[in-house]
Amino acid sequence: MIDGAFDVVGAAGPRAFFEHLTSATLSHGYLFSGPAGVGKKTFARAVAHSLLCITPKRTLLGWCGTCSGCTHFEAGTHPDFYASTGQLKIGDRDGSGFHDSEEPTARDLVRQLSMHSYAGGKRVFVLGDADFTREAANALLKFFEEPPADVLLLITTSADGRILPTIRSRLIEVTFPLLSAAEVAAVLERRGLAADDAAHAAAMANGSVTRALAYLDEGEGATRDAAVEWFFAAAAGGEADATGWAARPTLEAGLETVKTLTRDWVALGLGGSVPLLARDQRARLEALPQREPAAFVRLLGALGDAERIARTNVSPALVADLVRMALAPAAEPRR
């Protein structure tokens, strides 16, 4: 008997709920409800992983990570695990089935539900952000009337009205609360964000990873806008305010924007029909007077230096200033 890993952030309530179940008291279907971006689908996959791990464990939740069940699950090839996202339509083809098709249908699902386990244990179906057409729901009702003993259906939803009452009444509902800011940050860090950026986005996310990701997307758009305005102001030799991008979390993205604009500016000077990277800025770039080749070489050199020192502890404002000096028209040698 091992404890097994159950590597999921947050969801203390659902976790305690499942830990108190046994394979005898586990029902055939659960509805995971709660706000978007709090880990319902992740939790459903973790439950599936737990049930498909064949090593005996102290509770229902957890996996060993080394058995054949775990190996197949982690490789995405477990024949007794099925997952789909979004709307389930009734379907009218008899194609290869749920597991392989791009767009699974209720008929595929019903067919899969009636099959036997390959590995001899549970078969787990996860329907994420589920939405059923009325016909699809009706097709599924047959499953609920006589659920096969080895099947577990996990349905997640953040839109309460989407699950028809006929389906809802046959599932046991488990509610997922909003995450704490620390939990959102932990999820973002697992997705590769630096700790500072993750904490910052988590603070804006109000308990939802989805909102944190949306904030990061918008943040990137704002960084680009700020860097674009700064670039044109600096190239005109005017007052260039770098505070919108020259800050620790956005410095690299801001420099990338400045580099893109510089490259396009050089490309326009070469004439011909060079495709631009910052196409939306073509008119402004064309209006910008060209520089001597030597000035462009200096500017590109300064950008390379800036990228290098941006990775050290040098103040972001200083990095921006280094580029601004190379970008200002005064940097051109007098002729």
The residues binding Zn ion (CB under 5 A) are 53, 55, 63-64, 67, 70
Q: Nearer Cβ to Zn ion, position 67 or 233?
A: 67
Q: Which is nearer to Zn ion, 70 or 136 (CB)?
A: 70
CB-based contact 88:127 (threshold 8 Å): yes
Min separation Cβ 72 and Zn ion, Å: 10
Residue 27, C-beta contacts closer than 8 angstroms, at least 6 positions apart: 172
Angstrom distance (rounded) from CA 25 to CA 151: 13
Q: Give whichever of 4 and 104 is closer to Zn ion, judged by the CB atom.
A: 4
Shortest distance, position 81 Cβ to Zn ion, whole Å: 13
- Name residue, tokens 């051109």: 332
**Which residue in the shown chain puts its C-beta closest to Zn ion?**
53
How far, CA to CA in Å, does 212 sit from each of 37, 184, 232, 265?
Answer: 9, 8, 30, 34
Dist. CA 70–CA 53, nearest whole Å: 5
For the CB of residue 24, give the shortest distance to Zn ion in the complex, in Å: 21
Nearest distance from C-beta of residue 23 to Zn ion, angstroms: 15
DSSP conformation letters of 96-119: S-TTT-SS-BHHHHHHHHTSPPSS
Nearer to Zn ion, 28 or 49 (CB): 49
Please state the closest distance from residue 116 (CB atom) to Zn ion, in A: 21
Phi-psi region of 69 (alpha: psi -120 to 50; beta: other; left: phi over 0): alpha
Whichever of 76 and 275 has its CB closer to Zn ion, that residue is 76
